[in-house]
Structure 1
């Protein structure tokens, strides 16, 4: 479904992503892992077109989308939940959810968004900035789901989230993947959450993918070498 081929990216003179090859198969839940500063967030931004690539290709269903704008990629079926959530704090919950619908004829928020996150319906009139961190994360995920993406990219979705909401988010991600067939590409450093949510891993180190496999193949040797701080 989503394939990255020989992707390179630079910030100034720093080579951030180095010949990245990554294959996310339809219906799978991949976790992109690695210590801070390894390029995980930059890779997601390159996939969404928020950061231009300097070499290589981003392919979606076999089509090279490397030159497409972020909103075009969203319309093709890529959903993105950025690190830090980036909701609009002055807009209401309902207005936040309607933002992706601006260019569509129908402005109706899909009912299943509120089924997944009932709190968003209860707080539809409240400003996004008045929500707790966990509620804002639910709003950010709901906003990404409004356009009914085929693949959902999530950048550290439980960062700074209270434990009870962490479980809810994990349950929703598993439901989206295993019952609704949405492909998942998750950036996450917390190993228990990664194991509970994803079925495959890719580890990044110094801007390169250095190990990949099924989640049950992630052993202590790889954890010690690439993940332990």
Structure 2
């Protein structure tokens, strides 16, 4: 479903991503791992069109989307949950969710019932301002907002950051359900190995802007963890 082929990305004169390749099949749930500052968030932003690439290709469902706008990528079926959530704090939960309706390919005008089924707290608090929610509730809102698009690929950047443990497990359960029961392809960045192992079925490791290892999650062994993930 998603192919990243030899992309390079720069911040001014700093070379951030180096000839990076990544492939995620339809229906997979992949986790991007690596120490801080290796380019994981940069890669997600490039896939989403929030940062330009110098060269290489990004293919989604066989189509080259490397030069498409973020809006066109979203309308084409990519949902994105950024690090830090980036909800609109002065808008209500319902208003935050409705914002994504404008990017749906089918032009639907109603929030899908699935969102409130997955996150009942959002129904209970739909008239409350987003900024009044707890961190965990805001994360559920951010995921719900991305799902309103009815994406075929969901990208999440550190979905457990700053989240209380009980909500972390709930988020893992939701991602697994979306992936295994509804066939949603998922790519996430995560620092917490227990969450990554519980949620994803394959991994990719980045080091200094390059993809250096990957495979089924059960192949993420102590040697790889020590070499690339231990601080």
| Paired position in structure 1 for 2:204 | 202
Q: Distance in 1 between matches of 2:103 and 2:39?
A: 32
Which stretches in structure 1 are left out of the alignment for 5+ residues? none
TM-score by length of 1: 0.99
CA–CA separation in structure 1 for the residues paired with 2:68 and 2:8: 17
SS in 2 for 1:18: strand
Moved over 6 A (4+): none
Question: 1:2 & 1:103 partners in 2: Cα distance?
Answer: 20
Number of the residue aligned with 2:60? 60
Q: Which residue of 2 aligns with 1:12?
A: 12
Aligned equivalent of 2:76: 76
Q: 2:109 aligns with which of 82, 107, 110?
A: 107
Give the counterpart of 1:178 among 161, 164, 180: 180
**SS of aligned partner of 1:107:** coil
What displacement does 1:106 show? Answer: 2.6
CA contact (8 A) 2:103 2:149 kept: no
Partner of 2:218: 216
Distance 1:93 1:41, change over 3 A: same
2:135 to 119, 126, 133: 133
RMSD: 0.7
State how many pairs are aligned: 229
How much does 1:147 deviate?
A: 1.1
**In structure 2, distance between residues paired with 1:12 and 1:35:** 22
d(CA) in 1 for partners of 2:41, 2:85: 13
The question of 1:26 aligning with 2:36 is answered: no
How far is 1:103 from its partner? 5.2
* TM-score, scaled to structure 2: 0.98
Structure 2 unaligned blocks of 5 or more: none
Comparing 11-20 and 136-145, the one that deviates more:
11-20
CA contact (8 A) 2:71 2:103 kept: no
SS of structure 1 residue aligned to 2:99: helix
